[in-house]
Amino acid sequence: MKKGWTGVSLVFFVLFLVLAGQDKSKKVYELIYEDIQVLKKQLIAVEEKQNRDAAEIRLLKEQLRELQNQVRALQRDHAGLQEGIKSIPSHYQFLLDKIDQMNFVLARISEDLLVLKGAPAQPSTPVPVPAGEQPVPGEKKAPDQKKETPAAGPKPAGPPLALSPQDLYNTAYADYLQGNFDLAIDGFKIYRDNFPESPLADNALYWIGECYFSQRNFEAAIEQFNDLILNYPQSDKIAATYLKKGFALAELGRKEEAVMVLKLLMGKYPLEEEARIAQAKIKDLVSKNERYQ
């Protein structure tokens, strides 16, 4: 009887172990399942974050492309602006050439009108003057080919002229050479007032400025030089005019303006002798300025 109970107990014990093992395995499976669910949720969260990051990356790429397009557009605009700036000097030179042509045509027309209206000059004793105008230092010799045609028609108000236009001009120039600057100024002014269309009218204006310069009346000289630059841009005295204007400004202590005018002369007339003189004057002004600083 005791052996029977022992066998039954053994059976129950084995069953208990089996049932306990099944329950334990079940709990293990449940834990694994729960871990899997947690991993799935984490994976979903990671995928969602990746999707958001990818969307942001796409947006950034689009913005970058837009910025690149804007940069390229700005570069094109800048290049176009640079080309436009480069073309300005050529357009400016084109306009200057056109103005030069118009001034030349007007000068020829004026000469033709003087010839058509001309009358024989009154006989007079010519004033002895050197064959060619002798320029002061730093100035070109005036060309000899200019000849004055006697004026005709009604004369301006004032006393009648006893000299021909050429004799009047030569007399004034002789006064300049002899240092009679006031007489020379009066003579050149009378010449220019009575013969404003003459080919020598610009020369008369230049020599008025030279007379004032010799008298150290630099403000008056600059005024005459400005008048010549404005009204006779094609004068054969234009380079000398810029040069003496720069000298006059330097004498007044306006060195920056003087350097600017002399540089303008060098840029407009680089092959003229006055350009070489202007370059030397600029160096002198700059070196003096550096010594006093």
Contacts of 149 (CB under 8 A, 6+ apart): 111, 114, 115, 118, 165, 198
Contacts of 279 (CB under 8 A, 6+ apart): 262, 266
Cβ atoms 246, 152 nearer than 8 A: no
Q: Is 87 a residue whose pLDDT tops 90? A: no
Contacts of 164 (CB under 8 A, 6+ apart): 121, 122, 124, 148, 150
Q: What angle do CA 82, 84, 88 make, to 5 degrees?
A: 115
Domain boundaries, the chain: 25-117, 165-292
Range in 12-16, 25-29, 66-70, 111-115 the model is least confident about: 111-115
HEC string for the chain:
CHHHHHHHHHHHHHHHHHHHHHHHHHHHHHHHHHHHHHHHHHHHHHHHHHHHHHHHHHHHHHHHHHHHHHHHHHHHHHHHHHHHHHHHHHHHHHHHHHHHHHHHHHHHHHHHHHHHHCCCCCCCCCCCCCCCCCCCCCCCCCCCCCCCCCCCCCCCCCCCCCCCHHHHHHHHHHHHHCCCHHHHHHHHHHHHHHCCCCCCHHHHHHHHHHHHHHCCCHHHHHHHHHHHHHHCCCCCCHHHHHHHHHHHHHHCCCHHHHHHHHHHHHHHCCCCHHHHHHHHHHHHHHHHHHHHC
Handedness of CA 280, 208, 110, 229 (dihedral sign): positive
Q: How far is CA 180 from CA 44, 135, 170, 203, 239, in A?
A: 108, 16, 13, 18, 25
Q: Write out pLDDT tens, residues 97-140.
A: 666 556 555 655 655 565 555 533 333 333 344 334 544 444 44
CA distance 112 to 239: 26
Report pTM: 0.47
Residue type, 186: D
Mean pLDDT of 16-26: 62
CA distance 232 to 200: 11
Cβ atoms 246, 265 nearer than 8 A: yes
pLDDT level of residue 207 (50, 70, 90 thresholds)? very high
C-alpha dihedral over 252, 184, 224, 212, to 10 degrees?
10
Q: Is 182 a residue whose pLDDT tops 60? A: yes
- Give the N- to C-terminal CA distance of the chain in Å, as an integer: 135
pLDDT level of residue 236 (50, 70, 90 thresholds)? very high
Q: Is 1 a residue whose pLDDT tops 80? A: no
Which CATH architecture fits 165-292? Alpha Horseshoe (1.25)
Q: Write out pLDDT tens, residues 51-81.
A: 888 888 888 888 888 778 888 777 777 776 6
pLDDT level of residue 160 (50, 70, 90 thresholds)? very low
Q: Write out pLDDT tens, residues 212-226.
A: 999 999 999 999 999
Contacts of 133 (CB under 8 A, 6+ apart): 141, 142, 173, 203
Arithmetic mean of pLDDT over the chain: 74
CA distance 169 to 149: 12
